Amino acid sequence: MRKVFNKELLNIAKEDSRVFMILADIGYGEIEEFANTFPDRFINCGVAEQNMTGVACGVAMEGNIAITYSIANFPTLRCLEQIRNDVCYHNANVKIVIIGGGMAYGELGISHHSTEDIAIMRSLPNMVVLVPCDPVETAALTRMMMKYDGPVYFRCGYKGEPVIVERDFEAKLGGSSLIRDGKDATVFFAGTVGINAKKAVEELAAEGINCRLVSLYSIKPIDKDAIIAAARETGGIVVLEEHNIHGGVGSAVAEVLMDEGVGNVPFKRIAMPDVNATKVGCQAWMREQYGLGVADVVNAVRKMVKK
């Protein structure tokens, strides 16, 4: 997914001289083409994410589009004060792009996980939150993000993610991707963990349980219509996310259900438990260890349908 993002960004930058890339000494192997093509629009601030964010805000306030880009939680938690006070307070046109959302860097431990980021970013005024699930959504959301004037948090995957959305499409703020329709239950997800949701829904279909499968790629704003429709048209809602159970995608869906008066529906969140992830391993293995596996989704839907 990062390759797709960098390719789209380069193409956009060729057409728009306002695009700047601002890094904290990271991203090598992916960003050289941008740096070589636009040396005057590439700024490496060194290992100093707080400074990176301040520089990006200044660049944006001069009428440009500033991209900050780094691994997992480094462009967010390490420089949260600058995002809040500089970027969001001034509604600056800064795009905060992380590579490797959730536990993509599982072998490197909790310092490289981003499992609280959605809750934090969606609580900031003026901040848009986008979470693509695969290369197709990454390309579409990159194009949409760069047209939007204002702060955006873009939670990108790492590498080798399989395609989940099998068609190109025009992304929109507050939109979602309907991947499969069904009436027995709806499985919502956000991000690359959606591959487990897709496998689970396929397994359930073989048992005669037909689920609606939806990628909520826009978390703020969120697709209220899709959530309300799921509550009214299907037998229950399961939300899968690679994030702490507090404040993430499941919480956002629950807020819509209650605010819109359609909360009387079976509902289950499948997310990271409220713990520090002390285990170390690849992303797929880490998902299994913390309850985000295919079997976890299958079992949640089975229980819901039986009830």
Class (C level, CATH) for 177-306: alpha beta
Residues 148-166 pLDDT 10s: 999 999 999 998 999 999 8
Residue 169: predicted pLDDT? 86
Q: Do domains 2-156 and 177-306 have the same CATH topology?
A: yes
- Two structure tokens written together for 204: 């359930």
- The pLDDT tens digits along the chain (307 residues) read 999 999 999 999 999 999 999 999 987 788 999 999 999 999 999 999 999 999 999 999 999 999 999 998 999 999 999 999 999 999 999 999 999 999 999 999 999 999 999 999 999 999 999 999 999 999 999 999 999 999 999 999 998 999 999 888 889 999 999 999 999 999 999 999 999 999 999 999 999 999 999 999 999 999 999 999 999 999 999 999 999 999 999 999 999 999 999 999 999 999 999 999 999 999 999 999 999 999 999 999 999 998 7
Q: What is the pLDDT of residue 260?
A: 98
DSSP 219-234: EETT-HHHHHHHHHHS
- Quote the pLDDT of residue 26: 86
Q: Is there a contact between 271 and 241 (Cβ–Cβ < 8 Å)? A: yes
The per-residue pLDDT for 307 is 74
User: Could you state, in order of their start, the residue ranges of all structural domains in the chain?
Assistant: 2-156, 177-306
Q: Are 203 and 236 in contact (CB under 8 A)?
A: no
Closest C-alpha among 22, 219, 193 to residue 120:
219
Cβ neighbours around 162 below 10 Å, total:
12
Joined together, the tokens standing for residue 5 give 């993002």
Q: 179, 183, 217, 177: which is closest to 199 by C-alpha?
A: 179
Contacts of residue 259, defined as CB under 8 A and 6 or more positions apart, other chains included, come to none
Written as six digits, the tokens of 52 are 């990176």
Q: What is the CATH number of domain 2-156?
A: 3.40.50.970
Place of tokens 């897709």: 198
